[in-house]
């Protein structure tokens, strides 16, 4: 089978060359029409609320800033996850929404 293909290719160089040119042309045409995103966005739909209070300790940041923000944000529809971090003078609340939800 392979011997027959090789013999055909040797005898009909023009047809094989034409076939290669057609394949290359088709490939170039296809690559110009291919919709490719250079860096696909695979992150989930999320919003971060970052608050800075340089004079507060960790417990004060948690009770005065982080907890009220979490309570206020908890009523928003289509929330998947709500997580927060409280550090010395810093509060970060991350709200993760379902895909397709407008974050505004």
Q: How far apart are CA 10 and CA 59, in angstroms?
A: 82
Q: What are the structure tokens assigned to 33, written together? A: 């029409």
CA distances to 26, 55, 102 from 77, in Å: 49, 33, 11
- The per-residue pLDDT string of the chain (104 residues; one tens digit each, 9 = 90 and over) reads 899 989 988 999 999 999 999 999 999 999 888 887 777 777 888 999 999 999 999 999 999 999 999 999 999 999 999 999 999 999 999 999 998 888 77
């Amino acid at each position: 089978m392979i011997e027959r293909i090789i013999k055909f290719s040797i005898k009909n160089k023009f047809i094989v060359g034409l076939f290669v040119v057609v394949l290359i042309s088709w490939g170039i045409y296809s690559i110009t029409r291919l919709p490719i995103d250079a860096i696909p966005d695979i992150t989930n739909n999320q919003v971060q609320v970052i608050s800075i209070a340089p004079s507060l300790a960790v417990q004060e940041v948690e009770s005065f800033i982080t907890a009220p923000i979490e309570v206020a944000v908890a009523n928003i529809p289509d929330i998947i996850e709500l997580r927060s971090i409280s550090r010395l003078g810093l509060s970060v609340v991350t709200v993760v929404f379902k895909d397709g939800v407008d974050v505004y």
